[in-house]
Amino acid sequence: MEPNGPNNTKAPEIVIEASTPLVQLSTGDYLHFYSAGTPGWIPNGNYTSGWIILDSNNPRIIKQKSTEHLFIPTEPWEIGDSIYPVQRHRTLFPTSIVPTGTKDQFRVWYGAADANVASAIIQVSYQ
Protein backbone atom coordinates (compact mmCIF):
# COMPACT_ATOMS: atom_id res chain seq x y z
CA MET A 1 0.00 0.00 0.00
CA GLU A 2 1.16 3.50 -0.71
CA PRO A 3 1.23 6.08 2.08
CA ASN A 4 -1.18 8.96 2.15
CA GLY A 5 -0.15 12.58 2.06
CA PRO A 6 -1.92 15.89 2.58
CA ASN A 7 -5.59 15.54 1.74
CA ASN A 8 -4.97 11.95 0.63
CA THR A 9 -2.48 12.63 -2.15
CA LYS A 10 0.34 10.18 -2.88
CA ALA A 11 2.90 12.30 -1.01
CA PRO A 12 4.40 10.31 1.89
CA GLU A 13 3.56 10.52 5.55
CA ILE A 14 6.62 12.10 7.16
CA VAL A 15 5.82 11.01 10.71
CA ILE A 16 3.53 8.30 12.09
CA GLU A 17 2.60 8.01 15.75
CA ALA A 18 0.43 5.62 17.73
CA SER A 19 -2.86 7.15 18.81
CA THR A 20 -5.65 4.98 20.24
CA PRO A 21 -5.45 1.77 22.22
CA LEU A 22 -6.24 -1.39 20.29
CA VAL A 23 -9.87 -2.51 20.20
CA GLN A 24 -11.00 -5.97 19.19
CA LEU A 25 -13.36 -6.37 16.27
CA SER A 26 -16.02 -9.09 15.96
CA THR A 27 -13.60 -10.97 13.64
CA GLY A 28 -11.09 -11.22 16.50
CA ASP A 29 -8.69 -8.85 14.71
CA TYR A 30 -7.62 -5.56 16.28
CA LEU A 31 -8.28 -2.00 15.12
CA HIS A 32 -5.83 0.83 15.81
CA PHE A 33 -5.92 4.50 14.74
CA TYR A 34 -2.59 6.20 14.12
CA SER A 35 -1.69 9.85 13.63
CA ALA A 36 0.33 11.00 10.62
CA GLY A 37 2.09 14.22 9.74
CA THR A 38 2.14 14.94 6.02
CA PRO A 39 4.68 16.98 4.01
CA GLY A 40 4.73 20.59 5.04
CA TRP A 41 3.00 19.76 8.34
CA ILE A 42 5.13 22.36 10.05
CA PRO A 43 3.89 24.89 9.09
CA ASN A 44 1.66 24.09 6.07
CA GLY A 45 0.73 20.39 5.98
CA ASN A 46 -1.85 18.34 7.83
CA TYR A 47 -1.68 16.14 10.88
CA THR A 48 -4.34 13.52 10.24
CA SER A 49 -5.26 9.95 11.14
CA GLY A 50 -5.43 6.61 9.40
CA TRP A 51 -6.13 3.11 10.67
CA ILE A 52 -4.68 -0.38 10.62
CA ILE A 53 -6.13 -3.81 11.33
CA LEU A 54 -3.82 -6.24 13.09
CA ASP A 55 -4.07 -10.02 12.93
CA SER A 56 -5.87 -11.64 15.87
CA ASN A 57 -3.28 -14.45 16.18
CA ASN A 58 -0.19 -12.33 15.61
CA PRO A 59 -0.74 -8.58 16.18
CA ARG A 60 2.67 -7.87 14.62
CA ILE A 61 1.03 -8.60 11.26
CA ILE A 62 -0.81 -5.69 9.62
CA LYS A 63 -3.70 -7.23 7.69
CA GLN A 64 -5.05 -3.97 6.32
CA LYS A 65 -4.09 -0.28 6.29
CA SER A 66 -6.29 2.63 5.31
CA THR A 67 -5.83 3.93 1.79
CA GLU A 68 -7.27 7.29 2.80
CA HIS A 69 -6.88 9.15 6.04
CA LEU A 70 -10.04 8.93 8.12
CA PHE A 71 -9.72 12.14 10.12
CA ILE A 72 -8.84 15.21 8.04
CA PRO A 73 -9.21 18.75 9.40
CA THR A 74 -12.05 20.48 7.53
CA GLU A 75 -14.03 22.44 10.14
CA PRO A 76 -12.81 25.89 11.24
CA TRP A 77 -12.24 24.63 14.80
CA GLU A 78 -10.20 21.70 13.43
CA ILE A 79 -8.18 23.84 11.05
CA GLY A 80 -7.48 26.42 13.73
CA ASP A 81 -9.50 29.28 12.22
CA SER A 82 -11.48 30.15 15.32
CA ILE A 83 -11.63 32.74 18.06
CA TYR A 84 -9.66 30.46 20.38
CA PRO A 85 -5.85 30.45 20.32
CA VAL A 86 -4.39 27.30 18.78
CA GLN A 87 -0.96 25.71 18.90
CA ARG A 88 -1.11 23.85 15.57
CA HIS A 89 -3.30 24.49 12.54
CA ARG A 90 -4.77 21.58 10.49
CA THR A 91 -4.12 19.08 13.29
CA LEU A 92 -6.34 16.13 14.29
CA PHE A 93 -5.25 13.28 16.53
CA PRO A 94 -7.44 10.50 17.94
CA THR A 95 -6.67 9.67 21.56
CA SER A 96 -9.33 7.25 22.77
CA ILE A 97 -11.70 4.65 21.35
CA VAL A 98 -14.62 3.07 23.21
CA PRO A 99 -17.09 0.41 21.99
CA THR A 100 -20.66 1.73 21.81
CA GLY A 101 -22.33 -1.64 22.41
CA THR A 102 -23.30 -2.02 18.74
CA LYS A 103 -21.29 -4.62 16.79
CA ASP A 104 -18.04 -3.07 15.49
CA GLN A 105 -19.14 0.47 16.30
CA PHE A 106 -16.91 2.77 18.36
CA ARG A 107 -16.82 6.31 19.71
CA VAL A 108 -13.48 7.92 18.93
CA TRP A 109 -12.35 10.96 20.92
CA TYR A 110 -9.89 13.27 19.17
CA GLY A 111 -8.05 16.53 19.60
CA ALA A 112 -8.30 19.27 17.00
CA ALA A 113 -5.88 22.15 16.39
CA ASP A 114 -4.33 21.43 19.82
CA ALA A 115 -7.15 23.50 21.30
CA ASN A 116 -10.40 21.50 20.97
CA VAL A 117 -11.76 18.07 21.86
CA ALA A 118 -14.37 16.26 19.76
CA SER A 119 -15.78 12.79 19.22
CA ALA A 120 -17.10 10.77 16.31
CA ILE A 121 -18.91 7.46 15.90
CA ILE A 122 -17.08 4.97 13.67
CA GLN A 123 -18.78 1.90 12.19
CA VAL A 124 -16.43 -0.78 10.85
CA SER A 125 -17.81 -2.70 7.89
CA TYR A 126 -16.34 -5.56 5.88
CA GLN A 127 -16.30 -6.12 2.15
Which of 58, 61, 33 minimizes the C-alpha distance to 47? 33
- Per-residue pLDDT tens digits for 79-125: 777 666 666 667 788 999 999 999 999 999 998 877 788 899 999 98
pLDDT of residue 66: 84
- Per-residue pLDDT tens digits for 57-89: 999 999 998 877 787 777 877 777 766 666 666
In order of their start, the domains of the chain are 6-123 (2.115.10.20)
Identify the H or E element spanning 28: none
Give exposure, 10-43, as e/b (b: 16+ Cβ within 10 Å). ebebeeeeebbeebebeeebbbbbbbbbbeebee
CA distances for 110 relative to 5, 29, 52, 59, 63, angstroms: 20, 23, 17, 24, 24
Dist. CA 60–CA 41, nearest whole Å: 28
Q: Are 105 and 84 in contact, with CB atoms under 8 Å apart?
A: no
Prediction pTM value: 0.80
For residue 47, the tally of other CB atoms under 10 A from its CB is 27
Identify the H or E element spanning 79: helix 76-79
